[in-house]
Every structure is written in structure tokens, then in C-alpha cells.
């Protein structure tokens, strides 16, 4: 299924770029040789490179890998609202390679790796505890999140002034992986089969670490992996770019995208004290009883506030 969707997206991208390429070859002309008072050319030419940032909802729109936010239209792929691992910075590295004055290869790219450790103080379990001399220990929750998004594309340009119009198509591919691990200060033993345990608040799609209830340590989660999420889509875009000074521009764009997203199964590992074993028994199970994850297909217009791009050509 994924291969089929990928092929459809690639075919759509090729079709879009071939159609606009035919239009570009018949209707566009090379822009005028615009220069400032020092004789420096404003506009890029063949074989020049550009690097910059895409600083608005590009990643927010394409990256709803965590919370399933539905506030941005369809498809919506956003990051978690959890402040501990929130990576909705909306920033992507933007690069271009000018083929000639009117066409360019382009790519947008972002890798986000976030990690957060939450700690909680708990009473230390002791057989002969003394209320006058309390002892404490710590439970740890570590949340990790890795997201990779890349969008290669082909761009066509129009205009003979410092204000340039552009349009084209790009392929969008994204991956996301999330994991929560737990370390407990009080171990499970024959004397403390339900040790004192802190219940961490569920965050970023993760479940509670004490399924039997608050501070009930008879069953504890030691690790939870949310299913790997994969996104592939084809996007047509259109926008404008204005050259503030020679070889430096600011612009905006919006587009229309068809996408496919799939999520693998969630895996959780728990521990309990088993008297028959006289020790801890660990169990791994899937969130989905059939062992399958989820799939979604979306078609939608970008956030109309558009993407704001700042580019430097050299």
C-alpha cells in the first residue's frame, strides 16, 4: 500500500512539473539585468545557489506526527503540545540550485531531536521505616522524539523586476519516532510487590506508567514506543519573492497537497512481581490487538498565512 501511494505521489509530482515546465518554456522570458547603483545584480542567474529558512507553517502543516491536531485543515500533521518535547518551531532549512534564470531545483529539510527527563521524589520503601528519619528516592521519566522531514522540488519563475513570481511542485517525505522509558527508585521485591511509585501525567500520546491507578506500583510501565509514523505527499505551490538587496530576497508561498500517512503499532513493556518466579516478570504487548497501526489519506490547501522564506543567493 505504501509503495502504491508513493508511486502515485511521485507520478503526480512529475505530471505537475512537466505541465508547468511546458508552460515555462513557452511563456517566460529571462528577467532583465537589474542592478543597484554599485552595479550589483539583484536577481540570481544560472548555477547560483541559495540557502535560507522557511519560517512559517511548512512543518506545522506537514508534521502532525504527534498530537493529531485538526486545527489546520486537511491533512493535519502537527507535533505534540507537550511543552517538554514541543518542537513546533516552524523552521526549515531551504536550499536552491538555479538551473537558469527561470528554473531551479529546491529542497526544504528539517531534523528535530528532542529529549526530556522528568523526575519525581517518592518515599523509599523500607521494612523498618522511622517517621522521624524519612528516606526518599526518585522515579525518572525520559521522553524522546525524533522527526525528519524533507521536501525536494522543482521551481519555475516569472517576472522581469525585483518582484518575482514562482510556482512548481515538490515531494514531501517525513518520519517520526517517539519513546518513553521509566526508571524507578523502589524495586519490586517479595516484601514490596506493589512498591511506592509516582504516576507521571500522560504526555505526547503516551499512556500512564501505572495502569492500575495512582501510586499503585503493582504494574509499572518500563518502556513505551509509539508506532513509527511515515508521511509521503505531492504538493503544488505558488508564491512571490522580492529582492530587498542584490542576491537577498524575502517571499511567501502556499500550496495544495495530497498526502498519505501511516503509523505502526504501539509497543508497551510492563513489569509485575511474580511470586511463582520469585522475581519480576516483564510483558510486551501491542496497543492494537490485530498488530496493525493506522492509515490516513488527506487532500488540502496549505495554511493561508503562507510560508515566509528568507533566501541568500551566491
In a domain, 158, yes or no: yes
Q: Is-contact 122 136, C-beta < 8 A?
A: yes
Distance in angstroms (rounded) separating the CA atoms of residues 176 and 295 = 14
In a domain, 227, yes or no: yes
- Count of domains forming the chain: 1
Q: Is-contact 182 121, C-beta < 8 A?
A: no
- Please name the residues in contact with 276: beta carbons below 8 A apart, sequence gap of 6 or more: none
In a domain, 62, yes or no: no
Distance in angstroms (rounded) separating the CA atoms of residues 294 and 288 = 9
Q: In a structure prediction context, what are the per-residue pLDDT tens digits for the chain, which is 314 residues long?
A: 445 544 544 544 454 445 444 444 444 444 446 888 888 999 999 999 999 987 554 444 444 433 444 444 333 333 222 222 233 445 678 899 999 999 999 998 888 888 999 999 999 999 988 888 999 999 999 999 998 889 999 999 999 899 999 999 999 898 889 999 999 999 999 999 999 999 998 877 888 999 887 778 899 999 999 888 888 889 999 999 999 999 999 988 888 888 888 888 889 999 999 999 999 999 998 865 444 567 777 777 665 444 678 899 99
Peptide bond preceding 75: is omega within 30 degrees of 0, i.e. cis?
yes
How far from each other are the two terminal CA atoms of the chain, in whole angstroms? 42
In a domain, 68, yes or no: no
In a domain, 220, yes or no: yes
The model carries a pTM of: 0.70
Q: Is-contact 73 301, C-beta < 8 A?
A: yes
- Please name the residues in contact with 83: beta carbons below 8 A apart, sequence gap of 6 or more: none
Query: Helix, strand, or coil here: 48?
Result: coil
Q: Domain residues for 140? A: 2-45+110-238+254-302
Please report the pLDDT score of residue 19 as a whole number: 43
In a domain, 59, yes or no: no
- Please name the residues in contact with 69: beta carbons below 8 A apart, sequence gap of 6 or more: 76, 78, 81
Query: Helix, strand, or coil here: 281?
Result: strand
**Nearest CA among 101, 96, 12 for reference residue 53:** 96
In a domain, 53, yes or no: no
**Nearest CA among 147, 148, 138, 174 for reference residue 85:** 147
In a domain, 117, yes or no: yes
Amino acid at each position: 500500500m505504501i509503495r502504491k501511494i508513493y508511486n502515485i505521489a511521485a507520478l503526480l509530482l512529475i505530471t505537475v512539473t512537466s505541465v508547468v515546465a511546458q508552460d515555462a518554456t513557452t511563456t517566460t522570458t529571462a528577467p532583465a539585468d537589474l542592478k543597484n547603483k554599485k552595479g550589483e545584480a539583484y536577481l540570481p542567474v544560472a548555477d547560483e545557489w541559495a540557502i535560507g529558512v522557511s519560517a512559517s507553517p511548512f512543518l506545522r502543516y506537514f508534521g502532525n506526527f504527534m498530537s493529531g491536531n485538526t486545527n489546520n485543515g486537511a491533512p493535519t500533521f502537527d507535533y505534540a503540545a507537550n511543552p517538554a518535547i514541543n518542537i513546533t518551531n516552524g523552521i526549515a532549512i531551504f536550499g536552491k540550485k538555479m538551473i537558469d534564470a527561470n528554473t531551479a531545483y529546491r529542497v526544504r529539510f528539517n531534523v528535530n531531536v528532542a529529549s526530556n527527563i522528568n523526575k519525581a521524589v517518592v518515599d523509599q520503601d523500607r521494612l523498618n521505616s522511622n517517621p522521624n528519619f524519612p528516606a526518599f528516592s526518585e522515579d525518572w521519566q525520559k521522553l524522546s522524539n525524533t522527526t525528519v522531514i524533507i521536501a525536494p522540488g522543482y521551481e519555475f519563475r516569472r517576472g522581469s523586476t525585483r518582484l518575482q513570481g514562482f510556482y512548481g511542485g515538490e515531494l514531501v517525505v517525513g518520519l517520526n519516532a517517539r519513546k518513553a522509558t521509566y526508571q524507578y527508585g523502589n524495586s519490586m521485591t517479595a516484601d514490596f510487590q506493589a512498591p511506592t511509585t509516582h504516576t507521571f501525567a500522560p504526555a505526547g500520546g503516551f499512556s500512564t506508567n501505572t495502569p492500575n491507578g495512582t501510586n499503585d506500583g503493582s504494574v509499572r510501565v518500563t518502556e513505551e514506543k509509539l508506532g513509527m509514523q511515515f508521511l509521503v505527499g505531492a504538493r503544488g505551490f505558488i508564491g512571490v519573492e522580492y529582492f530587498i538587496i542584490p542576491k537577498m530576497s524575502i517571499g511567501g508561498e502556499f500550496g495544495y497537497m495530497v498526502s498519505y500517512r501511516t503509523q505502526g503499532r504501539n509497543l508497551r513493556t510492563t513489569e509485575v512481581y511474580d511470586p511463582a518466579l520469585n522475581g519480576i516478570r516483564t510483558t510486551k504487548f501491542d496497543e492494537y490487538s490485530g498488530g496493525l497501526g493506522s492509515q490516513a489519506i488527506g487532500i488540502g490547501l496549505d495554511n493561508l498565512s503562507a510560508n515566509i522564506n528568507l533566501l541568500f543567493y551566491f
